[in-house]
């Protein structure tokens, strides 16, 4: 395993974070899920990075995901993962497939190192397998400072106007079609989603208002020449550490309440809900099967079932499944084998995806895809891109959805979409 170099950078964290929208080619990862491996990185317990930033890619690969992952796999070290965290390697996202018969698209960039940002301690560290990375990063950020007056075209954050992609009657009609498929035995769960559209150009808006409002475990931001992706997702797709695979599907949702007593009742009601437990268990079984294709025999285990998690906008039920990776597989092959995540398709996965393609009016794009990273020595972590805004100059889209099962009700499922995304749509950006 290569030696890693850790160096301090003389860059104010607040300045860097407030200018992420000016760093084309940048990706940022945030939250307790992605950043957990860095909490004890130094001998100073006060250093607790909140964001991981990568910038100035060496190279990029885009297109059908099999081609992208082949490019990545050939640059990784042997298949056994030997690192505890991401230091340098490939970062990017996989989009949800446009239809079940089409290969999903990938967008990945290779980075020499990463920047760890602790805004509370006003401290930034550069981490890399290259001793030159810190000096080059300092030069890059100093150059950015000198150009910032001409490149910063961000407008002040404001609440945007979002329009649902379906009217309520249109949603109820689609729901009724899903219900018929469930009754006929085609599926036992379908994740039907609805887009919301904004006509504003959000590509030059800073992601911090969203990231700070939600403080989600697997937050993500990506800035490219033609689009920006903002995600405050709470869900892990797959992580691989020392050949241990973990997935943490979310199924089961209840709204939050400003009244603490009512909020507790909502959380307890969710945890006791047999309907939500059944919905979660369906996806646990699907993901046990998905992981088994990449796992050593008899190593797939359900570590936690129906664990309650409370987030800024909703309560969720989360389960944890683990497995030991087969020695002959690369982390890229594990990700490809399980993609897309079962929690955002339904079950059986293939038929659910066919129904989704039939009923949803446009392709999901980044929504319900996955974003994450492959370290050069194998450490891997990917989220599921729910609670996500995908922005281009012509406008932006944010989706909301939920798993429909035989004992769901149309009114509750329709309201659940708004429970999940309304706070995102109301956050100034």
For the annotated catalytic residues, the residue numbers are 235, 251
How high is the pLDDT of residue 370? 98
If DSSP codes are grouped into helix, strand and coil, which group holds residue 76? coil
Tokens coding 116: 């760890």
- The CA distance from 285 to 58, in Å, is 40
How high is the pLDDT of residue 77? 77
How high is the pLDDT of residue 152? 54
Tokens coding 64: 């059908």
How high is the pLDDT of residue 45? 83
DSSP state of 393: T
CATH topology of domain 163-199+249-369+395-426: Anthranilate synthase (3.60.120)
Q: How far is CA 79 from CA 130, 373, 397, in A?
A: 22, 15, 37
- The CA distance from 108 to 100, in Å, is 22
How high is the pLDDT of residue 298? 97
How high is the pLDDT of residue 34? 98
Contacts of 90 (CB under 8 A, 6+ apart): 72, 75, 108, 109, 110, 111, 373, 374
Q: Are 77 and 376 in contact (CB under 8 A)?
A: yes
How high is the pLDDT of residue 80? 67
Strands of 199-243 (E only): list them: 219-223, 228-231, 236-241
How high is the pLDDT of residue 319? 98
- The CA distance from 188 to 23, in Å, is 44
Q: By C-alpha distance, which of 275, 296, 285 is closest to 321? A: 285
| Angle (deg, nearest 10), helices 65-75 and 331-338 | 160
Q: By C-alpha distance, which of 429, 416, 345, 352 is closest to 389? A: 429
What is the phi-psi region of residue 25: left when phi exceeds 0, alpha when psi lies from -120 to 50, beta otherwise? left
HEC sequence for 320-343 = EEEEEECCCCCHHHHHHHHCCCHH
How high is the pLDDT of residue 2? 75
361-399 in b/e burial notation, b at 16+ Cβ within 10 A? eeebbbbbbbbbbbbbbbbbbbbbbbbbbbbeeeebbbb
Contacts of 112 (CB under 8 A, 6+ apart): 56, 58, 88, 128, 129, 130, 133, 136
- The CA distance from 102 to 233, in Å, is 25
If DSSP codes are grouped into helix, strand and coil, which group holds residue 137? helix
- Provide the residue-wise pLDDT of the chain in tens; the chain has 429 residues: 578 999 999 999 999 999 999 999 999 999 999 999 998 888 888 899 999 999 999 999 999 999 999 999 988 876 667 789 999 999 999 999 999 999 999 999 999 999 999 999 999 999 999 999 999 999 999 888 877 755 555 678 999 999 999 999 999 999 999 999 999 999 999 999 999 999 999 999 999 999 999 999 999 999 999 999 999 999 999 999 999 999 999 999 999 999 999 999 999 999 999 999 999 999 999 999 999 999 999 999 999 999 999 999 999 999 999 999 999 999 999 999 999 999 999 999 999 999 999 999 899 999 999 999 999 999 999 999 999 999 999 999 999 999 999 999 999 999 999 999 999 999 999
Q: What is the largest CA-CA distance in the chain?
A: 64
How high is the pLDDT of residue 283? 97
How high is the pLDDT of residue 333? 96
Q: How far is CA 191 from CA 321, 344, 418, in A?
A: 20, 6, 15
> Global pTM?
0.97
Residue length of the chain: 429
> What is the bridge-based pairing of β-strands 113-118 and 189-198?
unpaired
- The CA distance from 91 to 72, in Å, is 10
- The CA distance from 120 to 218, in Å, is 19
């Amino acid at each position: 395993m290569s030696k890693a170099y850790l160096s301090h950078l003389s860059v104010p964290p607040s300045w860097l974070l407030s200018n992420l929208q000016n760093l084309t080619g940048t990706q940022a990862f945030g939250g307790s899920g992605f950043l957990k491996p860095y909490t004890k990185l130094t001998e100073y317990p006060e250093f607790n990075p909140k964001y991981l930033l990568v910038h100035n890619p060496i190279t990029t690969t885009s297109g059908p995901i099999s081609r992208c992952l082949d490019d990545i796999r050939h640059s990784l070290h042997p298949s056994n993962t030997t690192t505890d965290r991401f230091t340098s390697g490939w970062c990017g996202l996989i989009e949800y497939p446009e239809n079940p018969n089409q290969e999903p698209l990938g967008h990945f960039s290779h980075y020499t190192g990463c920047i760890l940002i602790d805004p509370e301690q006003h401290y930034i560290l550069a981490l890399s397998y290259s001793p030159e990375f810190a000096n080059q990063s300092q030069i890059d950020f100093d150059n950015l400072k000198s150009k910032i007056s001409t490149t910063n075209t961000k407008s002040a954050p404001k609440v945007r106007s979002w329009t649902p992609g379906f009217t309520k009657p249109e949603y109820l009609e689609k729901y009724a079609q899903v219900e018929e498929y469930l009754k006929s035995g085609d599926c036992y769960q379908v994740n039907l989603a609805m887009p919301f559209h904004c006509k504003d150009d959000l590509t030059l808006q800073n992601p911090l208002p969203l990231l700070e409002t939600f403080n989600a475990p697997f937050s993500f931001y990506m800035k490219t020449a033609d689009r920006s992706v903002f995600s405050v997702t709470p869900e892990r797709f797959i992580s691989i550490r020392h050949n241990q695979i973990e997935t943490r599907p979310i199924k089961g949702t209840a709204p939050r309440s400003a009244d603490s007593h009512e909020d507790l009742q909502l959380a307890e009601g969710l945890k006791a809900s047999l309907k939500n437990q059944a919905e979660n268990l369906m996806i646990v079984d699907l993901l046990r099967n998905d992981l088994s294709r990449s796992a050593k025999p008899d190593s797939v285990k359900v570590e936690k079932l129906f664990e309650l998690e409370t987030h800024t906008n909703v309560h969720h039920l989360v389960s944890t499944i683990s497995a030991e990776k087969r020695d002959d597989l690369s982390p890229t092959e594990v990700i490809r084998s399980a993609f897309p995540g079962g929690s955002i398709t339904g079950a059986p996965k293939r038929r659910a995806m066919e129904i989704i393609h039939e009923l949803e009016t446009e392709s999901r794009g980044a929504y319900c895809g996955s974003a994450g990273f492959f370290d050069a020595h194998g450490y891997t972590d990917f989220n599921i891109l729910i609670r996500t805004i995908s922005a281009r100059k012509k406008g932006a889209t944010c989706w909301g959805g939920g798993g429909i099962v035989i004992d769901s009700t149309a009114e509750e499922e329709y309201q659940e979409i708004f429970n999940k995304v309304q706070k995102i749509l109301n956050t100034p950006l």
